[in-house]
Amino acid sequence: WFLEAGQAVFSNSGEPLWLDGVISDISDRKFAEDALQKANKELERLASIDALTQIANRRQFDEYLENEWRRMRREKKKLSLILTDIDFFKLFNDNYGHQEGDNCLKDVAQAIRSAQRRPSDLAARYGGEEFVVVLPDTDSDGAVYVADMIRKKVQDLKIPHAYSKAEPVVTLSLGVATVVPTGEMPSRKLINAADEA
């Protein structure tokens, strides 16, 4: 990389006489700027990813939901949300230990991610053993279909859970809600509806 800075020198009559300037090698600076830009992108990525599960974190979910809420409101389209919880996870953690609990969370998160069908869908860790999936431009039938795929994928993992009161393997409870956002309605209403479901 080179930087050229110069100017023309003119005679009293306005005729150009010569160019006066400097050419500098700025390669080191450009390489440092490129490295800084890459580091900033990586920091941005890390700030939006849950460290344990490697899917979107709560911060990214909150931002994404607000953006999609505004977009679906503008386009007058449906926005669906799946809120899911690992059944009897405290009993799992208490009896199998936190390391196995972490492994369970990782496996469940990847199963949830694998059920995503479109780039616009977002799976995120909502908190603890809760996960959420945002499905823009998706009606309730489509959202229930995705929720059922998630349920099956997690059940197919066959993670033993002898202390569950539901099944002898890890299972999920899933709530689905769908709305067409309006100006008066806060996005929190969609989360609450999925939680109640």
Residues with active-site annotation = 129
Measured in whole angstroms, the distance separating CA 196 from the mean position of its chain's CA atoms is 23
Q: Give the phi and the psi of residue 79 in degrees, each rounded to 5.
A: -125, 125
What is the residue type of 140? S
Q: DSSP letter string over the chain?
A: -EEEEEEEEE-TTS-EEEEEEEEEE-HHHHHHHHHHHHHHHHHHHHHTB-TTT-SB-HHHHHHHHHHHHHHHHHHT--EEEEEEEETTHHHHHHHH-HHHHHHHHHHHHHHHHHT--STT-EEEEEETTEEEEEEET--HHHHHHHHHHHHHHHHHH--B-TT-SS-SB--EEEEEEEE---TTS-THHHHHHHHH-
